[in-house]
Amino acid sequence: MSSGHVLALSGGVGGAKLAAGLAAVLPPERLTVVVNTGDDFEHLGLTICPDIDSVTYTMAGLNDRQRGWGVAGETWQAMAALKALGEADWFNLGDRDLGMHVARSWRLRAGESLSDVTVRLTQSLGIAHKVAPMSDDPVRTQVQTAKGWQDFQQWFVGEQCAPSVSAIRFAGTPGARPSTAFAEALARPDLSAVVFCPSNPFLSVDPILAVDGVRGALAGLTVPRIAISPLIGGKALKGPLSKLLAELGQEGSNHAIAAHYGTLLDTLVIDRSDGDDAMHLQAGGLAVTLANTLMRGPDDQSRLAREVLAAVGVEY
Amino acid sequence: MSSGHVLALSGGVGGAKLAAGLAAVLPPERLTVVVNTGDDFEHLGLTICPDIDSVTYTMAGLNDRQRGWGVAGETWQAMAALKALGEADWFNLGDRDLGMHVARSWRLRAGESLSDVTVRLTQSLGIAHKVAPMSDDPVRTQVQTAKGWQDFQQWFVGEQCAPSVSAIRFAGTPGARPSTAFAEALARPDLSAVVFCPSNPFLSVDPILAVDGVRGALAGLTVPRIAISPLIGGKALKGPLSKLLAELGQEGSNHAIAAHYGTLLDTLVIDRSDGDDAMHLQAGGLAVTLANTLMRGPDDQSRLAREVLAAVGVEY
């Protein structure tokens, strides 16, 4: 058993749950959670980082489990005011969430890096583990639809993912450097494992892999690299992954996930109900672990985190 | 009776009520409300204009009459979130109010003038009358206390007006030019009257008078200039005026108000309960009108507006 450091790569909601699980079973000095910033955008003068927010709220236990995103106990008064003032209302800003956006935006504008702001805000909410953006340089995910290239949030929230996607790109890459915490985690001599959280590979993990040097660094690691498939029965629990897979001409299955990550991965965790996929995946050279990948709350999060760490021989 | 244009000069709460009353009895093309911006400040990356907001909320009928400031139905979720994130909480930002600050701030940052933003936001809320900042150039009221010069909001809200004030200045003046709407109203050939709303002369009206050319323009007008005293029985209904008068070595009475405006004024409206002051004020050359100057709601606002206009022979 290895007792070193764990680097978790996370997108939003699904990834955030496993990140919270890992934080529940590992001491602060043994975990770095690196978060996708490709979904970040500027809206009404605010810098909004949806995946960092999801990870922060979930790790702080503030997430709204019923709605599946945002902060529990949220209200929408500022949004109603903004709408009455004639401002754009396609992106719903909760009042509590707005506090986060205001705090982050003014700190960034005052010259703090996104990394520093993220440490400040997560620590304020009692998160002892390190949460870092993948990069302090702006990366913006864009999708190609019949209308041309669209900014991610315009498509994801503004159009509810309706337009069919033919390609995805990450504006700002190459050129975006890994954040200090990300680069340091990748280079740690005591690194024990890299965990690809159950996030959308195309929209949430690919931007992380597109950061300068990251794909090469991950490929060169000799420690286990394990992903948790975001699919159960070929369907994503949430978000547009199933639709995207079809539109990009790929099979809606764990095979597509495995194929997508390719040699960056040693182990894939799939849901027990998809056990039939195991033999074929293993034939492709991948270790496969079966687990209940559905996370309904903190207990599930910790349980899955323990199973993931056990699968790669990391102590918890 | 004159049926021309009325220029109202207003600070926050008290002034806002009379501005709303004037708007209720005059058609949109016959009223310009020019608002103090000396109280404006930058906070958490937002440009906050307390007096413009008070005037806007009151003219739109959205003001909280019970609390006496801000928006009715206000909640404080974003503020709680900001506090949890370790941000400054000395200035209470309501959720609805925050919608206003976010809208204004991003429009300003996008290059719109405060005048344009104010027209946009007031019109969005159904205000047909012209509301304009006194200037599009930043003016910042500062008070001198034992600690030295303090920014107005730090003293007013942050310290609840506790430190004694020995002097007041308006950073940015001279040099701040009147807004286009203000300059145009002052120069209108059909101008019928200037109304100094019942606002704090030192903190709310003096900044307006400090804008380049304004004092001279008002002094040179031949139309009636009428002020409504913010004092009843020597006390201000709200705010630090009584305290300020004492600290600045002045009498807490309508005489101090009259003396402060001096020859800029032809008529002073005082509360009926202060009728004893009339004779002495008239001896000083001022016309005096008695009225019930307390405004408990829209009916009082309109009634007082009619009495003010009647006092200077302006049709409504």
Determine if the peptide bond prior to B198 is cis (ω within 30°): no
Average pLDDT for runs of 10 along chain B of length 316: 95 95 98 98 97 97 92 97 96 96 98 98 98 98 96 93 96 98 98 97 97 98 97 89 91 93 97 95 94 96 98 96
Q: Which residues from B are below 8 Å from A97, CB to CB?
A: 81
CA–CA dist B200, B213 (Å, integer)? 21
Write down the pTM of the prediction: 0.94
Q: Are B265 and B223 in contact (CB under 8 A)?
A: no
Share of chain A above pLDDT 90, in %: 93
Structural domains in chain B? 5-138+167-311 (3.40.50.10680)
Chain A segment 56-75 residues within 8 A of B by beta carbon are 71, 73-75
User: How high is the pLDDT of residue A281?
Assistant: 94
Which helix H or strand E contains B143, and what residues bound it?
strand B140-145
Lowest mean pLDDT among A137-141, A213-217, A247-251: A247-251
All residues at 6 or more sequence positions from B22 whose CB lies less than 8 Å from its CB, including other chains: B6, B8, B31, B33, B195, B305, B308, B309
Give residue A79's identity as a one-letter amino acid code.
M
Q: Inspect the interface and report whether the beta carbons of B46 and A106 lie closer than 8 Å.
A: yes
Q: What is the mean pLDDT of chain A?
A: 96
Chain A segment 35-54 residues within 8 A of B by beta carbon are 44-46
Chain A segment 122-181 residues within 8 A of B by beta carbon are 124-125
User: How high is the pLDDT of residue A1?
Assistant: 83
Q: Inspect the interface and report whether the beta carbons of B79 and A86 lie closer than 8 Å.
A: no
Q: Are B20 and B311 in contact (CB under 8 A)?
A: no
- C-alpha dist (Å) from residue A203 to A11, B68, B115: 8, 49, 42
CA–CA dist B100, B93 (Å, integer)? 10
User: How high is the pLDDT of residue A98?
Assistant: 98
Q: pLDDT tens across A175-209, in order?
A: 999 999 999 999 999 999 999 999 999 999 999 99
User: How high is the pLDDT of residue A264?
Assistant: 97
Burial class (CB in 10 A: 0-12, 13-18, 19+), B300: middle
Q: Inspect the interface and report whether the beta carbons of A96 and B103 lie closer than 8 Å.
A: no
Q: How many CB atoms lie within 10 A of CB A38?
A: 31
CA–CA dist A235, A198 (Å, integer)? 12
Tell me if chain A has a CB within 8 Å of the CB of B188.
Answer: no
CA–CA dist A108, A195 (Å, integer)? 29
User: How high is the pLDDT of residue B251?
Assistant: 87
Q: What are phi and psi of B302, to 5 degrees?
A: -70, -40
Residue A239 pLDDT class (50, 70, 90 cuts): confident
Q: Which residues from B are below 8 Å from A87, CB to CB?
A: 99, 102-103
Q: Which residues from B are below 8 Å from A78, CB to CB?
A: 78, 95-96, 98-99, 102
Tell me if chain A has a CB within 8 Å of the CB of B112.
Answer: no
Which of A75, A80, A86 is the closest to B124 by Cβ?
A86
Q: Which residues from A are below 8 Å from B106, CB to CB?
A: 44-46
Tell me if chain B has a CB within 8 Å of the CB of A119.
Answer: no
Q: For residue A217, how far is the Cα from the chain centroid? A: 19
Tell me if chain A has a CB within 8 Å of the CB of B92.
Answer: no
Tell me if chain A has a CB within 8 Å of the CB of B105.
Answer: yes
User: How high is the pLDDT of residue A47?
Assistant: 97
User: How high is the pLDDT of residue B68?
Assistant: 87
CA angle A231/A261/A309 to nearest 5° reads 70
User: How high is the pLDDT of residue B13?
Assistant: 86
Tell me if chain A has a CB within 8 Å of the CB of B118.
Answer: no
CB pairs under 8 A between A and B: 117
Q: Inspect the interface and report whether the beta carbons of A99 and B121 lie closer than 8 Å.
A: no
Q: Inspect the interface and report whether the beta carbons of A75 and B75 lie closer than 8 Å.
A: yes
Q: Which of A42, A204, A58 is nearest to A108 (CA)?
A: A42
* Rama region for A295: left / alpha / beta (φ>0; ψ in -120 to 50; rest): beta
Q: Which residues from B are below 8 Å from A73, CB to CB?
A: 77
CA–CA dist A55, B119 (Å, integer)? 40
Token output for A107 = 């700190």
CA–CA dist B260, B268 (Å, integer)? 12
SS3 A236: strand
Which of B95, B97, B125 is the closest to A75 by Cβ?
B95
User: How high is the pLDDT of residue A13?
Assistant: 86
Average pLDDT over residues A301-309: 98
SS3 B258: helix
